[in-house]
Structure 1
Amino acid sequence: MDNLRSAIADARRIVVKAGSSSLTTPQGTIDGARIDALVDVLAERRKAGGEVVFVSSGAIAAGLGPLGLARRPRDLATQQAAASVGQGLLIARYASSFERHGLTVGQVLLTADDMMRRAHHNNAQRTLQALLKLGMLPIVNENDTVATDEIRFGDNDRLAALVAHLVRADALILLSDVDALYTGDPRLPGSRKIEDVRSEADLEGVTTGTAGSKVGTGGMVTKVEAARIATGAGVPVVLTSADSAAEAVAGGRVGTLFHAGTHRPSTRDLWLAHATTGQGKLILDEGAVQAVVGRRSSLLPAGVTGVRGDFAAGDPVDLCDPSGRTVARGLVNYDASEIPELLGRSTRWLAREHGPEYERELIHRDRLVLLTGEPSTD
């Protein structure tokens, strides 16, 4: 056992995530035997003195049978109806299974909007910390009954990575129906298993698209992105199958190990980079890009050439270079309607013409996080 996997075995606090495909039968209904098997693994870790936060998909899948649905519905309203029926059934099933081990669970339902709004984000953090302090085992799920297509996490993978940072976990274990990350579809000849990912170079040439599931929404794309988020926050990640959960938790050499970065960003920076969505765009000239990205300076009105979208002061907005590529995100100090008349002006000129309250940056450097984005499509 190498040092990092040994550290996972000895971790004080872990987050474990299981997707719908790991908890369901081939027909798409909740599989009680698979739930019990996974609960046994988590309970043993908990009884050994470790703290466990469990992120579980499956609410929609649990509601399919009672609603007489043969497969996951495509329309949002029926998905939400299935989640409404299934969430209670799912948590009751978990509570019953953990009760066999004398453990009590607490349910925490989140939407991406909860992680985007600072106050909600802080409340979620306090709730999870309190549950752990009280000796409970928190079970986190996306609140599918109210989540919309625009703000979904993506089969809870991104949610699990954010929760791992939120509770300052020592490791994140992502359980799937695939035993590891491969260079291509594992069902095809020539695909090679990747045991360790130490940097982006290890992912070059990797094809993460996989066949869809009847009940799940994720795939290797969302899992790799979740691993990037978590490792960027200093949390190592093991990606493997639910059948290998016991070995993964014990630090066994299974699945793919994503090595953590050397530092943990502030909660604000991780929240801003991964839990928010830009509510608009500010287009920067080359000088402003150099100032923000190269010198980590605040964004001033003089370096902005355009504004897009409808946002309010305090909202997150994306900062784009002249080609439209997103380079940063920050919390803006002005409403979108105020910004056009500020463009190209110095803060000193604005203060002289409009009053001292205008002698401030569009976005302060302490409320900015750098991103590596794709060219804008609009």
Structure 2
Amino acid sequence: MKGPRPLGIVIKLGTSSIIDATSHEPLIATLSLIVETAVRLRKEGHRVVIVSSGAIGVGLRRMDVEHRPKHLAKLQALAAIGQCRLIGLWDSLFSHLRQPIAQILLTRNDIADRTQYLRAQNTFAELFDMGVIPIVNENDTLAVEEIRFGDNDTLSAITAAMVHADLLFLMTDVDCLYTKNPRQHPDAEPIEVVEDINALEADISTPGSALGTGGMSTKIVAARLATSAGVTTVITRSSTPDNLVQILAHIQATQGSSLLQKSSSFASLPAAAAAPAAPAAAPSLSSSMTLTKPPLHTRFLPWAEPVRDRSFWILHGLAPHGTVFVDQGAYQALMERAGLLPVGVVDIEGPFSENDAVRIVVVDRKPTTAAAASSAAAEGSTATPTVAPPSLVASGTEVGRALVKYSSTEIARIKGHRSRDIKGILGYVTSEYVAQREHISLFQRKDSRPASPSLRDKDRDHHRVSPNQKASAVAVESPLHKVEGLTLNESSSTSAGES
């Protein structure tokens, strides 16, 4: 009997997983186990990607610098020094097992352009066809705050979505998520499966390490992002990477129906095409492994209706340049697959240019005009529009992202007007829509809503309500830094973490 089809697997390793925090020496034993595990998975036919931090850590060791500097230029110089040595180390270890690898360095700018995003996908597909394991890292040599992913947890989630991976392994210094900090509370219980991140009650007091930028909270956000794209996400211990094989076998046995039948953009691989998608198929790794309890890990189940391709790219591949505030009627029209008309726009926050990405935030109009605005938002429709109830979404909620057809200056002039009035106001018409429907992607309102994080937003209130709306709208707390709906125990910060 043939085993299940090969899977797409992304393995994310933080700096402290592969670099000693004190000496800055590479953890050769751990790295060797990771290489052996990745090669074993590759020989089983799986498509493997490694997202590896550590360039700055290796650079610190090479230049005998004791502490991670804060000056950006020095960090970038250390990243340039360390990256070549890091990839050389990976290549040396993989070459012992005759496994070719490739280096891929990314920033947000590299995927902000749709053509470049598709080319990156094609590059990954070709590398998989050639049997190569890509090693991905953020391009710290060039990246600045405006174009950073923020941490490699986010990068790994976006990479997993880009290649339509089946599984994302976030390797950290703990076995799994716990209900409490297990170092302080002996009664802490492991959280093995998470179906709805919004209902999660976990301890995320593990901070980022001295070398890294992430922590357990960034892994939760990455899990939210990856699962929204249909990727099963696993948090497990990095010091025992060979556990991945047992965890994978367990997932194949318990989640086989949804995991093995999942469509993949790279299912054209010969092995994948030939493999049946039978839920009861025995895993090819080791049937006996599925009969025993797997190593501790936390598994986040993927969304049943994932966000894919262009919609995911608009939501998470682009850095928004501003905000368009719309009324409830306009939002309902968007939910019904209509474009965004200027009559539904309440206000804007910029500046931004034509074709830039913006946030879409719902706010309430004044009661005297709400019904008229809701009706007008469906302008051009022959059917009688349904007025959105006030509880459709909370005022001040970010509901999606869009690529706009007009600049912030132009939208400020045409907001609240009908499309037929655009020419009289501007003297020209680029489009009857502020944003066409194919250029709009909405966050799903069921279960968990993902958000693409960015560390730079800690000091910037991207989601503040415009001055004209402060009296009637609730200020928006940026979803880029808040895992919406989670009950997070952050009071303790004694346990060490990593990025």
TM (normalized to structure 2)?
Answer: 0.70
Task: Between 89-98 and 265-274, report the one with greater CA deviation.
Answer: 265-274
- Contact 1:319-1:328 at 8 Å conserved across structures: yes
Give the drift of 1:201.
4.4
Rg larger in structure? 2
**Which one-letter code corresponds to 1:335 in the other structure?**
S
Structure 2, unaligned runs of 5 or more:
251-293, 364-394, 444-448, 452-460, 466-499
- Contact kept, 8 Å, 1:29 with 1:64, in 2: the verdict is no
1:317 counterpart (331, 337, 358): 358
Q: CA deviation at 1:356?
A: 7.0
1:326 match: 398
The residue number in structure 2 matching 1:223 is 219
Where 2:160 maps in the other structure, the secondary structure is helix
**2: CA distance, partners of 1:147 / 1:272:** 21
Whichever residue aligns with residue 368 of structure 1, its letter is: I
Instruction: Report matched runs for 1:237-256 at 5 Å.
Output: 237-250=233-246, 251=248, 252=250, 253=294, 254-256=296-298
Q: Provide the secondary structure at the position in 2 that maps to 1:245.
A: coil
Q: Which residue of the partner structure matches residue 45 of structure 1?
A: 41
CA pair 350-201 structure 1, distance change in 2 beyond 3 A: closer
State the AA in 2 paired with 1:126: N
Q: Are 2:59 and 1:75 equivalent residues in the alignment?
A: no
Deviation at 1:195, TM superposition (A): 0.3
Q: Are the counterparts in 2 of residues 57 and 155 from structure 1 also a CA contact under 8 Å?
A: no
The 5 A counterparts of 1:341-352 are: 341-351=413-423
**8 A Cα contact 1:351 1:359, kept in partner:** no
Change over 3 Å in CA distance of 1:166–1:358 after alignment to 2: closer
The CA deviation at 1:159 is 1.1
**What corresponds to 1:288 in structure 2?**
330
What is the match of residue 304 of structure 1? Answer: 345
1:76/1:149 contact within 8 Å kept: no
Deviations 1:240-290 (CA, angstroms, capped at 9, x unpaired)? 011332222332433101111113323111111122221011122232233
CA distance in 1, matches of 2:6, 2:233: 12
Given that 2:204 and 2:217 are in contact with CA atoms closer than 8 Å, whether structure 1 keeps it comes out as yes
Offset from partner CA, 1:38-91 (integer Å, 9 cap, x none): 111111111232221111111111100122211222222221111100000000
Q: Which residue of 2 aligns with 1:199?
A: 196
What's 2:279 paired with?
none
* Offset of residue 324 of structure 1: 3.5
The offset of 1:351, in angstroms, is: 4.3
Indicate the SS of the match to 1:289. Answer: helix
1:32 aligned residue (28, 49, 57): 28
Letter in 2 for 1:304: V
Q: Are 2:161 and 1:161 aligned? A: no
2:410 maps to which of 331, 335, 338: 338
- Hey, what's the Cα distance between the residues in 1 that align with 2:439 and 2:336? 15
Unaligned runs of 5+ in 1: 1-6
1:192 positional shift = 2.5
Partner residue, 2:264? none
Superposition RMSD in Å? 2.2
For 2:403, give the aligned amino acid.
L
- Aligned mate of 1:131, from 127, 144, 157: 127
Q: Deviations over 1:123-177 (max 9, x none)?
A: 2111111111111111111101011123322331111111112112121111111
Of 181, 188, 195, the residue aligned with 1:185 is 181
The count of corresponding residues between Structure 1 and Structure 2 is 369
TM-aligned CA distance change 1:191 to 1:339, over 3 Å: same
